[in-house]
Structure 1
Amino acid sequence: MGYEVTMKALVLSLVVGAVAGIRPSKLVRQVPAIYVFGDSTLEVGNNNYLPGEGVPRADKPYYGVDLPGSGKPTGRFSNGYNTADFVAKRLGFDNSPLAYFVLKAHNKLIPSSITRGVSYASAGAGILDSTNAGKNIPLSQQVRLFESTKAEMEAKVGPRAVSELLRRSFFLVGAGSNDFFAFATAQAEHNKTATQSDVAAFYGSLLSNYSAAITELYKLGARKFGIINVGPVGCVPRVRVLNVTGACADGMNQLAAGFDAALKSLLAGLARKLPGFAYSLADSLGLTQDTFANPLALGFVSSDSACCGSGRLGAQGECTPTATLCPDRDRYIFWDSVHPSQRSAMLGAKAYYDGPPRYTTPITFKQLAAATP
């Protein structure tokens, strides 16, 4: 009984502290907690706990080589911190909340889910359950894990305290790229070009599933959604290397752009329909394309190659302890054949949080954090 009373008091102090901009440390929390859903650009270690040989894991060097404090792999598909970490830092946290399965393994889901948040992100995950099925935690399952987490939170501190906590917390969502890779691979395997009806059906499934996931999170108490759209999937080194010139696959980028436009409309529609629903849609596609247009302006010398890998564009081999490692990771846009470098992730999070405003709509992540739902 005493523990539960203490936990309830802690929840209240965290919520009030976040609203008042007060925290007894050097960081000022903008929100009481962060809950993260998505793919490998946001993952911090869930896949290390999934069984099976085909599960993508960032559990070996050189992953984490530049991670402050350890220099060791932690499940992040980066040379250091990833986008979730940098968004969390902007919101006043040390880094991303810990992975759900890490917390469960160490019996720390409660109170971490209350005092900091939880990451459910999983490498290889898609908006569709069928994307890389059996090798990740798909978005729908991530939402179900959050639902079970909420039940545990309520058992400790009560529904009213949890409702207030979730109402003010930040829900970071970034998924979709893996669905596009899977769609393109399926088309290539059948030696065909997607028809208009193929694309329409693909978009329809994605939007239906995405809408269901966001609506379910809303029903569970989420109100502030920071959502990252699908970036230029046709420009990652793994796709570029398939072209003899190393150029981007424009068709894939156009496919992503079409979905991003539909996602923008979907979110605007949800905002009209769901009372208190607030969101910021981050434009990963636009930001990355602008970076490609003038990489030197941001200090990048490589915009088409993986820093860690092997072969042409560093994209013909995985990032492993035997891979070739570039000497200056901060000057590469890509860390491995798919994922951004730590510095790329940092610049992205900064743009989503602080602006310029063209990279978020209708408000920035900073404005979203400060919003009163």
Structure 2
Amino acid sequence: MDAGNTIASSPRPLVAMTITAVVSVVVLAAASCSPAAAAVPAVYVLGDSLADVGNNNHLLTLLKADFPHNGIDYPGGKATGRFSNGKNFPDFLAENLGLATSPPYLAISSSSNANYVNGVNFASGGAGVLNSTNKDQCISFDKQIEYYSKVYASLVQSLGEAQAANHLAKSLFAITVGSNDIIGYARSSAAAAAAMASSDPQQQFVDTLIQSLTGQLQKLYDLGARKLLFLGTGPVGCCPSLRELSAAKDCSAVANDASARYNSAAASLLRGMGERHADLRYALFDSSAALLRYIQQPAAYGFAEAKAACCGLGDMNAKIGCTPVSFYCANRTGYVFWDFYHPTEATARKLTAVAFDGSPPLISPVNVRQLSAM
């Protein structure tokens, strides 16, 4: 009898077999519950104040959040430049991926040994798709892409072209932009509509945004981005600042319609890119539909207030933003909006959870967990 048959025929103790089975189950369970992403080495973030983690701290601008009461619920209780009472979308995205939050580009770019391999955040409060949006007050989206091109070149130099390409192809590129363009348009929509000859000025405006966005996303692809998470604009017409303009405190139909059109056009844009580039993967989060659920049925989602801002001054806390002299609510987990534009930490946490593990039509064609594993 050969050794192979001897081993095969030798009875294994039941206890040993049971322990082996239990260990296997535990290992498999741990693997299935681990953060998605062992496959994602880094997150590169671009966009506006919904994703800014401190870039605007380094700018000469009025669009800042590096003072109280911002950050009151952030670890340490200090303002960080996040337009929030605590953490924001990039923080929760990183947590779900098992990664550290990507640092602001302007905080590390001047260092001679800046490390870009673990991700970078280029987002800037006030940024829009168009360079004219909040011009000279933020890092425009085009400028953010220019900064990213420098990071790309640095990675190629330090890792080599092939390894840099492989690293970036596995990394996640999170983009949230468009809200500031639409808010600006809604505030001047009456004048804009009168000045435009188009029978549908709103669609003309959205077409202008998408035309610019098409080239911007293509540049990111050309610079190695292969996994895109695109956050469509929320129902910006329901932010306290725009509600406050209405005598009835209703949401701005102009802004919300523009958001819906923009999100639909962005979905078409991404589908087209996916058809042209076989190696591109993406997830589109319908922020508008997701957030409207909280606004229209706040109690069903654990909120007590969905119209007024938690921090600010004046009617609905929406006349003046969140500053050291502003009032702020005690029950911050019960408010959808932190200030006159931005969500609370509680809202950002819930929305990120939907993007990460949700399903169509809110997140499509895949969710972030699935995108990360591709």
Output aligned runs, 1:61-80, within 5 Å.
61-68=68-75, 70-80=76-86
Deviation at 1:190, TM superposition (A): 6.2
Q: 1:131 to 1:29 in 2, by over 3 A?
A: same
What TM-score comes out, normalization by structure 1 length? 0.87
For residues 108 and 58 of structure 1, the distance between their equivalents in structure 2, rounded to whole angstroms, comes to: 28
Encode CA deviations 1:26-45: one digit per residue, 9 max, x unaligned. 99644000000000000011
* Structure 1 position 35 matched with structure 2 position 44: yes
Task: Tell whether 2:53 aligns with 1:48.
Answer: no
Contact 1:180 1:256 in 2 (8 A): yes
Question: In 2, are the aligned partners of 1:55 and 1:136 still within 8 Å (CA)?
Answer: no
* In structure 2, distance between residues paired with 1:102 and 1:298: 36
Cα pair distance change 1:30/1:344, threshold 3 Å: farther
Q: CA 1:225 to 1:27, structure 2 compared with 1: closer, same or farther past 3 Å?
A: closer
Summarize the Cα distance change of 1:57–1:358 in structure 2 as closer, same or farther, 3 Å threshold.
Answer: same
Q: How does 1:1-373 map to 2 (within 5 A)?
A: 29-51=38-60, 54-68=61-75, 70-94=76-100, 96-107=101-112, 109=114, 111=115, 113-114=116-117, 116-188=118-190, 192=194, 196-371=199-374
Judged with a 3 Å threshold, the aligned counterparts in structure 2 of structure 1 residues 88 and 108 are, in CA distance, closer, same or farther, namely: farther
**DSSP 3-state at the match of 2:347:** helix
Deviations, residues 211-256 of structure 1 (Å, cap 9, x unaligned)? 1111111111110000000110100000001111111111211121
Question: Counterpart of 1:6?
Answer: none
TM-score, normalized by length of structure 2?
0.87
CA distance, structure 2, for counterparts of residue 166 and residue 147 of structure 1? 12
| Aligned residue identity for 2:143 | Q
Unmatched runs of 5 consecutive residues or more in structure 2: 1-29
| Percent of aligned pairs sharing the same letter | 35
Task: Compute the RMSD of aligned alpha carbons.
Answer: 2.0
* Equivalent residues of 1:27, 1:93 under 8 A apart: no
SS at match of 2:229: strand
CA distance in 2, matches of 1:106, 1:55: 26
Determine the C-alpha separation between the residues in 2 that align with 1:244 and 1:329.
26
Give the C-alpha shift of residue 202 in structure 1: 1.5
SS at match of 1:352: helix
Q: Is this contact kept in 1: 2:37–2:369, CA < 8 A? A: no
SS at match of 1:303: strand
**Aligned AA (2:65):** A
Q: Which protein is bigger by CA-based radius of gyration?
A: 2
Counterpart Cα distance in 1 of 2:190 and 2:51: 28
Aligned residues: 342
- Note the C-alpha offset of 1:88: 1.3
Distance 1:82 1:193, change over 3 A: farther
